[in-house]
Copies of this chain bind each other. A is one copy, B any other.
Amino acid sequence: MKKINVGIIGLGTVGLGVLKILRERRNILSEKIGVDIVLKRACDVKLRPDLKTYLPKGSFTTSAEEVIGDPQIDIVVELIGGIHPAKEYITTALAKGKHVVTANKALLAEEGRELFALAQDRSKNISFEASVGAGIPVVKALREGLVANRFDSIFGILNGTSNYILTQMSKHGWGFPEALKSAQKNGYAEKDPTLDIEGKDSAHKLVLLTYLAFGRLVDLEDVFVEGISRVSGLDVLYARELGFEIKLMAVAKKDKDNLELRVEPVFIPAGHLLASVDGVFNAIYVNSDKAGSLLFYGPGAGQLSAASAVVSDLVDLAQDVRAGLFRPNLKIVPDNSVSQLRKIQEVEGRYYIRFMAVDRPGVLARISGVLARFDISIASVTQKERSKQEVVPIVMVIHETKYKFLHSALEVISRLDVIKEKPVCIRIEQI
């Protein structure tokens, strides 16, 4: 049977997962493809003892160049993450005529334009199923399965850590710090959780989904990003009372010829499928013009889950290599009904707002007076508790307004002497 030689750079969690699957499923995979996927070279900074069982004899090296430079290797799998030297490895691998498989969302979101152009130039593929939603085959679904479709919007719960934290807050009535601590204790959050909880990881993934669905590789700066660290236990509680759940949502949404891109905590109706996506699970909800509204759901992280996606990319490429031909990944074609990106200031929406105000007659009149000046109309107001001595939460739901009007109004309101904390506002997503 013909052999396809693969080299892996980076033997961390996902890398080890790939080794495990390639070893366990080698016979089945070769029967399915008609070709044997052979791990020829595997590289990391040092040889950890747990790797030994899974590494073919003589395959380990500490030199990435030995992997990339091996003329017998057909496909290079990059799993070290980060921008450098991952970018240089991939560039060299493409230049040397190898296909690339990567799970590196940060790299592709930030440097993808250059890398995809190089791949096209060299008639090679960069495959990246594992970079969004781990083992959920959503890249393939958007690119191939839904090839006949234009998209109206994508709503993604793309970061397992954030979703785990929000779920814990909602289930246990915890505050954010408490839930983060629990996530860290259970191995669902890094010691430095910034990339996850501040929304950047979701933004990277949103850039890739936008590329697949709308044919534009936008700059990361074009995505409005806000994380979950400012979400309080109180807001999660009030969300539930109002019939919502709070989720960190990555959104790409077409409105006429504008595309809005944002990652932020939002309220979604408790009855919506996305509201039931709990814990470390991810989900991508897609509105397409031919196949309708679709949901793809599954674990958003995990050694074998991400490795499952990497191996599916390897199998696709191995079929080509075997045939001795280049079957390029379907070309990404810009959706020309989109002519510009909408700035967050111009994005409209309904909002939940929480004011912390002194409990005194006339407070509501002053707040609503300011809102009226910005043409913002109120759908409902509740003062949650009564207590003469204390500051009380006033919870408001407002009708559609632009981000800029709301934030200007809140700026003014927060300077009122009766307002004791910075007001909190959370968008009510229209899905």
Contacts and interface: CB of A to CB of B under 8 A. Distances in A.
B144 A141 contact: no
Given A145-B140, A147-B29, A34 B331 contact: yes
B137 A144 contact: yes
How many copies the complex holds: the figure is 2
Interface in A270-320: 271, 273, 276-277, 283, 288-299, 302, 304-305, 307-309, 311-312, 315-316, 319-320
B32 A331 contact: yes
A21 B330 contact: no
Interface of A: 17, 21, 25, 28-29, 31-34, 129, 134-137, 140-141, 144-149, 271, 273, 276-277, 283, 288-299, 302, 304-305, 307-309, 311-312, 315-316, 319-320, 323, 325, 327-328, 330-333
A304 B291 contact: yes
Contacts of A296: 294-297
B147 A129 contact: no
B331 A31 contact: yes
Chain A interface main SS type = mixed
11 contacts: A32-B330, A135-B146, A135-B291, A148-B307, A290-B304, A290-B305, A291-B304, A291-B308, A294-B297, A295-B297, A320-B327
Contacts of A308: 146, 148-149, 288, 290-291
Contacts of A289: 304
Given A276-B273, A323-B325, A333-B31, A137 B148 contact: no
Nearest to A17: B290
A290 B307 contact: yes
A313 to B, nearest CB: 10
